């Protein structure tokens, strides 16, 4: 029997995950395939129920379902409870559906390996308050950044994100600040930071900017989770910043998920090559 794994989200057509996951499955001779499962919000419960069938190994979860999926699962890993977002679902031996989050460790790996950037002690501005931003905030807090400023269009969502980080009893906590996107202090905080992360989807399908004004310090790192060159990265580079897109994060989160589903070490070289060719 060919087993199945897929990406649950809306939309999903843009994803490169099938290329890297199917290359890894084929390389190791695992009889499974990775598919795209476009899933509107009202179809999410049925999609999760589908995973309980024996032919399914698990799934990835992307926008807009990373938080909505939480109550539909049987169990969550402890760090995932603290993050408040799921990007990977796997099955335990008893068939239970377990939610985990491979985005958080993948972000740190990408920053350290691809960006040659150690987050500890740094001043960071994080754009967004979605599931991806939650994973980033958790990763940065556990890496002991000095200051974390969360900027979001809706102030309430950013406040909820940081409130959840505080409730998670992570110690020590950095200096935490929440700002609305149109707050006049946003440019000054960005200019005084060593890392700017875009965890929004703005810039994926068009030449949009996640910020009305971009002022960055020369030499700082600007990281966009969108895994292709974006206007944000181009404009940051013109101002003398170092830039990094989200391809490395995509690779490392996918590799961790692969091991959850198959129990085997992910062939990183094979997966990276497939991503670059996609």
CATH number at residue 183: 3.40.50.720
Sign of CA dihedral 63, 68, 129, 110: negative
**Beta carbons within 10 angstroms of residue 183's beta carbon:** 14
What is the domain count for the chain? 2
Nearby residues of 63 by Cβ (< 8 Å), 6 or more positions away? 9, 10, 130, 131, 132, 201
Indicate whether 123 and 231 sit together in one domain.
yes
> What is the per-residue pLDDT for 255?
98
Q: Which of 16, 47, 65, 66 is catalytic?
A: 66
**In the chain, which ranges are E strands?**
3-9, 32-38, 56-61, 75-76, 88-91, 97-100, 123-127, 147-152, 175-180, 195-198, 221-224, 242-245
Sign of CA dihedral 219, 124, 120, 81: negative
Indicate whether 267 and 207 sit together in one domain.
no
Q: What range does the domain containing 236 cover?
A: 104-245
Active site residue 91: no
Indicate whether 261 and 239 sit together in one domain.
no
> What is the per-residue pLDDT for 121?
96
Indicate whether 122 and 230 sit together in one domain.
yes
Indicate whether 187 and 260 sit together in one domain.
no
Indicate whether 176 and 190 sit together in one domain.
yes
Nearby residues of 24 by Cβ (< 8 Å), 6 or more positions away? 258, 266, 267, 270, 271, 274
Nearby residues of 167 by Cβ (< 8 Å), 6 or more positions away? none
Q: Cα–Cα distance between 83 and 63 in angstroms, integer?
A: 15
Indicate whether 177 and 240 sit together in one domain.
yes
Q: Cα–Cα distance between 193 and 206 in angstroms, integer?
A: 26
Indicate whether 118 and 230 sit together in one domain.
yes
Per the CB < 8 A criterion, the answer to whether 34 and 17 are in contact is yes
Beta bridge partners of 245: 224
Tens digits of pLDDT across the chain (278 residues): 899 999 999 999 999 999 999 999 999 999 999 999 999 999 999 999 999 999 999 999 999 999 999 999 999 999 999 999 999 999 999 999 999 999 999 999 999 999 999 999 999 999 999 999 999 999 999 999 999 999 999 999 999 998 888 876 677 888 999 999 999 999 999 999 999 999 998 877 768 999 999 999 999 999 999 988 899 999 999 999 999 999 999 999 999 999 999 999 999 999 999 999 98
Indicate whether 186 and 85 sit together in one domain.
no
CATH number of the structural domain spanning residue 33: 3.40.50.10860
Indicate whether 181 and 120 sit together in one domain.
yes
Per the CB < 8 A criterion, the answer to whether 87 and 135 are in contact is yes
Indicate whether 62 and 87 sit together in one domain.
yes
Indicate whether 186 and 81 sit together in one domain.
no
């Amino acid at each position: 029997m060919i087993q199945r794994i897929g990406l649950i989200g809306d939309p999903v057509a843009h994803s490169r995950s099938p290329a890297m996951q199917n290359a890894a499955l084929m390389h190791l001779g695992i009889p499974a395939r990775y598919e795209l499962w476009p899933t509107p919000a009202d179809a999410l419960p049925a999609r999760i129920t589908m995973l309980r069938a024996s032919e399914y190994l698990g799934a990835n979860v992307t926008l807009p379902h990373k938080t909505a999926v939480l109550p539909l699962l049987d169990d969550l890993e402890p760090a995932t409870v603290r993050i408040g977002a799921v990007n990977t679902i796997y099955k335990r031996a008893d068939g239970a559906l377990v939610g985990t989050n491979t985005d958080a460790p993948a972000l740190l790996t990408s920053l350290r390996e691809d960006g040659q950037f150690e987050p500890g002690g740094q001043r960071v501005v994080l754009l967004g308050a979605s599931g991806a931003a939650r994973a980033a905030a958790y990763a940065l807090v556990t890496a002991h950044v000095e200051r974390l400023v969360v900027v979001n269009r809706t102030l309430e969502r950013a406040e909820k994100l940081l409130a959840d980080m505080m409730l998670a009893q992570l110690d020590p906590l950095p200096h935490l600040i929440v700002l609305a996107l149109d707050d006049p202090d946003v440019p000054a905080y960005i200019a005084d930071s060593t890392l700017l992360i875009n965890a929004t989807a703005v810039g994926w399908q068009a030449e949009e900017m996640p910020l009305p004004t971009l002022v960055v310090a020369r030499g700082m790192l600007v990281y966009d989770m969108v895994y292709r060159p974006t206007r944000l990265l181009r404009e940051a580079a013109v101002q003398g910043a170092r830039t990094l897109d989200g391809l490395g994060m995509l690779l490392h989160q996918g590799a961790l998920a692969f091991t959850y589903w198959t129990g085997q070490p992910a062939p990183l070289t094979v997966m990276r090559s497939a991503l670059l060719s996609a």
